[in-house]
A and B are shown apart, each in its own frame.
Chain A
C-alpha cells in the first residue's frame, strides 16, 4: 500500500514541475498548461489527505477545485485570444489578409 507520503511526494514533484513551467517557459500557452499541472498536483494532495484522514471534505474540495480550474481556463484562454488578436490587429497587412 502506498502511504500518504508517497502521494504527497508525487504531488510535490508535479507541483514543482508546474511551478517551474510557469516561471521558466516563455510560450504563454504552455504557461497556462503548467498552471493546470499545479492545480492537478494540489488535487492529488487533497484527495490523498481525504483518503488517509477518512473524511470526505477533501474529495468534495477537489470537485470544487476542478470546477474552478475549468472556469479559470476559460478565462485564461479568452485573455490569451484577446491579447493575440489585439497584437495581430495592430498589424495592418494582416488585417487586410483577414478580410480577404
Chain B
C-alpha cells in the first residue's frame, strides 16, 4: 500500500478531531476537579462545542480522504452543524438537570462528547466499515448515557442495549451481503460497480432488506421502534433530547448516503420497502402518542411519527427530497430540544414527567408555557413555524416525485398528531395546577435554560419565516450526493 494513495488529510477531519480532543481534554480535566465542581466540565464541553461550530463549514474537502473512508463534503458539514448545535444545547441543559438529580459526574459530559464524535464520524463516513464503527461509538455512548440516570435509567438502558445491539447485528449482516454483492465496502466504489452487476442478485435483496431494517431500528421506525419509548423515558431528559435529535439525524445521514449514493441503481427495489415503513411509522407514531400520559413517552412517539415523515424524503430519492431531510433534521433539532428542555424544567425532578405536571403552567410560568406552546405548534406543523416549512418541503418533494398516497398518509398522520400536541397546550392554558408548587430556580438556572429556550425558539421561528436561506444551503449540501 502506497502511503500517498491513502490521502491522509488532517483538514478533512479537523472538526471531528476537535470534538475528540475536547472530549479527551474534559476526561483529563475530570481527574483534577473535585466532586462538587463537575458542572465546570459541563460549561467547558458546551462552550467548546460552540467554539468548534464555526470551524465546521471552513473545512470542506470534496475528495475522499483516508483511503476513501472519510468524505468531508458540504453534506456532512451540514449534519455536523446539527449535531454540534443539538449536543451543545443538550449539555447546557444537563448542567442544572444533573444537579437536581444529584448525579453530577464528569463521565456524563465527555461520553456525550464521544457520542457527538460518533455522529460526526457517521455523517462523514464514506465506507461501510467507517460507518459501522462510528455508529457503534455513538450507540455505545448512548447506552451508557441512558443508564446514568439513577433508578430506572439502567433498565431502560439494558432494553435499549439489547435491541440496539441486535439491530447492529442485523445491520452488520446486511453490510456483509452488500460487501458480498459488490466486493467492496466503499460507498463510491460500490456506486461505480453496482451499475455493472445484475440487479436480480439475491445477495442484493438481503443487503437492502437487512441494512434497511438496521437503519430503521436506529431511527426508531415502526416496527423497529420498541426500544425508543423505554429508553427515552429511562434516560436523563437532556440525553433523551440528544437521542431523539442527534442520533436520529446521524442515522438519517448514513441512511441517505448509503441508499442514495451507493445503491441508487436499485431505487426501484428499496423505495417500496421504505415506502411501507415510512407510511406505517407515521400512522403508528401519531396514533399511539395519543393515549400517553407521560410527556416523555408522548414525545417519543411523536418522534417516531416525525421519523416516518423524514423517511419520505429518502424514499423519493431526489435532490429536493434529500435537502428536505437535511432541513427537517435541523428544524427538528431546534423544536424538539426546546420541547425536551421545557419538559426537563417543568418536571419535579423525581423522574415522573407526567403530562399533568404541565397543568396551569401558563399561570405559574407564562414564558415557559409560551415556549412550550410554540414548540408544540411547530412539532404539529402549523405555520408560521419551522415545523410547517419542514413538513411542507418533504411533502412537496414527495408530490413532485409522484408519491401522492404517501403524501396523503403524511397529511392524515399530521392531522391525528394535532390532537396530542393540542392537548399539551390545553393542559397548560386551560387547566389549573394542583399539588406542590414547583421549586424556585436560581437566577443562574434561569439563565442557562433561558439561553437554550430563547435560541431554540428563535431558531424555530426564524426557520419558519425565512426558510429559503437554510434551504439553499441544504440544497447545495446534498449536491455531492446526486452528482456522482
Contact = CB atoms under 8 A, between A and B. Distances in A.
Chains A and B in contact, CB within 8 Å: yes
Nearest to B173: A42
Given A19-B166, A46-B179, A86-B154, A79 B161 contact: yes
Contacts of A31: 162
Nearest to B158: A79
Contact of B157 (A58, A60, A71, A79): A79
B60 interface: no
Interface string B124-165: 000001001100100010011001000100110110011001
Interface residues of B, number: 30
A4 B201 CA distance: 14
Contacts of B170: 38
A79 B147 contact: yes
Contacts of A38: 166, 169-170, 173
A61 B185 contact: yes
B204 to A, nearest CB: 13
Given A28-B158, A68-B133, A57 B179 contact: yes
B177 interface: yes
Interface string A43-85: 0011001000101011011001100100110011001101100
A57 B166 contact: no
B393 to A, nearest CB: 36
B294 interface: no
Contacts of A80: 158
Contacts of A39: 169, 172
A83 B132 contact: no
B143 A75 contact: yes
A53 B151 contact: no
B133 A64 contact: yes
Contacts of A86: 151, 154-155
A72 B165 CA distance: 8
B114 to A, nearest CB: 12
Contacts of A57: 129, 179, 184-185
A24 to B, nearest CB: 13
Interface of A: 4, 15, 18-19, 22, 28, 31-32, 35, 38-39, 41-42, 45-46, 49, 53, 55, 57-58, 60-61, 64-65, 68, 71-72, 75-76, 79-80, 82-83, 86
Given A39-B172, A58-B176, A72-B165, 16 more contacts: A4-B180, A28-B162, A45-B180, A46-B179, A49-B179, A53-B179, A55-B183, A55-B184, A60-B129, A61-B185, A65-B132, A72-B140, A75-B144, A76-B143, A76-B165, A79-B157
Q: Give the 5 A-B CB pairs with smallest separation, nearest first.
A: A38-B169, A49-B180, A82-B154, A45-B176, A83-B154
